[in-house]
Amino acid sequence: MGKSGKKRILLKIGSNVLTKETNHISRGKIEDIACQIADLKEEYEFVIVSSGAIAVAKQFVQLESNGKEINVKQALASIGQPHLMRIYQESFRELGLLTSQCLLSYSDFKKEESKTNIKNTINVLVENNYIPIINENDTVATDEIKFGDNDKLSALTAALLNVDLLIIATNTNGIYTKESMDSKSQKSIKETSNIELLRSQIQQSISSHGTGGMSTKIEASEIAQGAKIETWIVNGLKDNFVVNAIKNKSEFTKITVQ
Ligand SMILES: Nc1ncnc2c1ncn2[C@@H]1O[C@H](COP(=O)(O)OP(=O)(O)O)[C@@H](O)[C@H]1O
Ligand SMILES: N[C@@H](CCC(=O)OP(=O)(O)O)C(=O)O
């Protein structure tokens, strides 16, 4: 709970959601997110972890690869991040919502002083009605781009800020049973606290823009669970996905605290 008495939600938005699985970032999806935050703002305050810097850059530039894949991705992230933030800022401002940018690295979570600074900065932002939009500081981070750990970043941030709920928006209705995936009749696991059970349902596939697949989302929910935070894995491709999950009007996976 924030100082305002509102419930605090950490919302992680994956690249596939932001591109709506195309090769372009979707302004419509960012507007959908803004609308939902505006609708919920009397009861909830939001901190966002957003991927999409690399995806947004790809629509503007093609870089020479020169065999250094990671460095090319880092350069793309550096080009895309300001565009991504511009789209957030413009879309959110339309609805009277204020945004800010925080770029974080995993090493920041290993240093107590940095952790305290992250926490205090974000608290000042939220208390002043700014919505912090966090992404990995890709210029210095290699593991993140390789392993798609914005899921882990969202969980570490959720734990650090002691939020009430972690919502991970991806391109499926949460986690499907392995059996249903095999028979192509996707059926979501509705609620569980059993992380091992979830791990056993994973398929190795990831989607076109995704990096970590479902396993990094399960790892994230394990970190959140350790901090007594519930995780919801929801389908961000659908309109109104946060509001509908809160109203229990959609299919998604709830990973509860033990
Ligand atoms: N049991 C499962 N249920 C749902 N999705 C799964 C499962 N196992 C693997 N996946 C894959 O995980 C993908 C989501 O992860 P990812 O592609 O990294 O997306 P994001 O960009 O949201 O991080 C799904 O599109 C699907 O291909
Ligand atoms: N920091 C990168 C994150 C890429 C990434 O982790 O994507 P995802 O698996 O969709 O969360 C970017 O903004 O493009």
Q: From the CA of 138, which ligand is nearest? A: 2
- Is 28 one of the annotated binding-site residues? no
The third-level CATH classification (topology) of the domain covering 7-255 is Carbamate kinase (3.40.1160)
As given in the structure block, the two tokens for residue 167 are 């919502």
Distance CA 140, CA 21 (A): 27
Kindly list the domain boundaries of the chain, sorted by start residue.
7-255
Whole-number Cα distances in Å, 138 to 41, 64, 142, 146? 30, 18, 7, 11
For residues 57 and 77, the answer to whether their CB atoms sit within 8 Å is yes
Q: What phi and psi values does residue 186 have, to the nearest 5 degrees?
A: -35, 125
Q: Which atom of ligand 1 lies closest to the CA of 204?
A: 9
DSSP string computed for 60-128: T-----TT-HHHHHHHHHHHHHHHHHHHHHHHHHHTT-EEEEEEE-GGGGG-HHHHHHHHHHHHHHHHT
pLDDT tens, position by position, for the chain (258 residues)? 667 799 999 999 999 999 998 889 999 999 999 999 999 999 999 999 999 999 999 888 887 766 567 888 889 999 999 999 999 999 999 999 999 999 998 888 989 999 999 999 999 999 999 999 999 998 887 655 454 569 999 999 999 999 999 999 999 999 999 999 889 899 999 999 999 999 999 887 655 555 568 989 999 999 999 999 999 999 999 999 999 999 999 999 999 998
Distance CA 148, CA 254 (A): 21
Pocket test for ligand 1, best of 29, 151, 181, 207 (most atoms within 8 A of CB): 207
pLDDT value at residue 147:
45
Q: From the CA of 147, which ligand is nearest? A: 2
Q: Which atom of ligand 2 lies closest to the CA of 138?
A: 1
Q: Which atom of ligand 2 lies closest to the CA of 73?
A: 14
Distance CA 173, CA 160 (A): 27
- Is 148 one of the annotated binding-site residues? no
As given in the structure block, the two tokens for residue 37 are 């935050």
Binding-site residues, ligand 2, Cβ < 6 A: 14-16, 51-55, 77, 135-136, 138, 144, 148, 150, 209-212
Distance CA 174, CA 158 (A): 19
Tell me the whole-structure pTM to 2 decimals.
0.94
Map residue 204 onto helix, strand or coil: coil
Q: What phi and psi values does residue 158 have, to the nearest 5 degrees?
A: -60, -45
DSSP string computed for 171-201: SSSSPBPHHHHHTT---B--EE--HHHHHTT
- Is 183 one of the annotated binding-site residues? no
- Is 194 one of the annotated binding-site residues? no
Q: Which amino acid would we find at residue 35? A: C
Q: ipTM higher than 0.85?
A: yes
Residue 210 Cα to ligand 2 middle (Å):
7
Whole-number Cα distances in Å, 66 to 80, 90, 162? 20, 35, 43
- The Cβ of residue 102 has, within 10 Å, a number of other Cβ atoms equal to 17
- The Cβ of residue 163 has, within 10 Å, a number of other Cβ atoms equal to 25
